[in-house]
Amino acid sequence: MSQAVLSLKNATIYQGDKEILSNVNLEVNHGEFLYIIGKTGSGKSSLMKTLYADLPLTIGTGHIVDFDLETLKENDIPFLRRKIGIVFQDFKLLPDRSIKDNMLFVLKATGWTDRDEMEHKIEEVLDKVGMKNHALKMPHQISGGEQQRVAIARALLNDPELILADEPTGNLDPQTSIEVLDVLKKINANGKTIIMATHDYALLMKFPSKTLKCEDSKIFEVVQRTV
């Protein structure tokens, strides 16, 4: 059985009618931590959106956690997204609900029904990111770094095979960024595959890992010292 969680072959990434990246060949194996870097507009977010089916893959082939992106039907997208965790730059927490109720909303939306199991799962994922004692707070009552920790916990709720983190430190100060990436690295050390798009090269120096760069409509691997 293949260890690849994600595979793209000869893929072209589009944003609307505009070609963003061409001839993308990418394979990510179970347990890897992969950075995707590049300037704003270079294609990082478009690639990530293609991976979680916000943008369609129309040229090339793509396989992600048991789904084929090029043949994916619209009613299959929710099932794909239950098998991947997505962490956004702007957290996307519901502002009118407590941290715990944000978690409950996701669990109910993805088919959980047993209240005790939901309570246990919420406590488990919040504990993993150091936010267990903040469950009853509202999002505006915690810092940006804490909100991003909650967003990471939310991404873990359905025990995803893959976590896609799209500029997760983009709205955070340097020290908080380090703390958030430390959380992601610990999650990766426990076996989760993580792909992280970022433009923060300082984080790459502190937490080196395999790195791909988007530039001039191409994506290619770089060695850390030349990024």
Domain membership of residue 188 (yes or no) is yes
* Spans in the chain with pLDDT lower than 70: 1-2, 224-227
pTM given for the model: 0.92
Find out whether 104 and 121 touch, Cβ atoms under 8 Å. no
Position 41 scores a pLDDT of: 87
Total domains, the chain: 1
Q: How far is CA 57 from CA 24, 163, 215, in A?
A: 11, 19, 20
- Cβ–Cβ under 8 Å, residues 219 and 30: no
Asked whether residue 227 is assigned to any structural domain, the reply reads: no
> Each residue of 198-221: pLDDT tens digit?
988 899 999 999 999 999 999 999
The closest alpha carbon to 21, from 12, 8, 33, belongs to 12
Domain carrying residue 102: 4-222
Asked whether residue 11 is assigned to any structural domain, the reply reads yes
Specify the residue for token string 């709720």.
157
Amino acid at site 41: G
Residue 226 confidence (pLDDT) = 46
- Whole-angstrom Cα distance, residue 1 to residue 35? 25
Q: What are phi and psi of 213, to 5 degrees?
A: -120, 135
96 domain residue, yes or no: yes
Contact 135, 122 (CB under 8 A): yes
For residue 202, the domain's CATH number is 3.40.50.300
Q: How many residues does the chain have?
A: 227
- Work out the widest C-alpha separation in the chain, in whole angstroms: 51
Is 13 among the domain residues?
yes
Could you tell me the two tokens for 218?
């191409």
- In eight-state DSSP terms, residue 184 is H
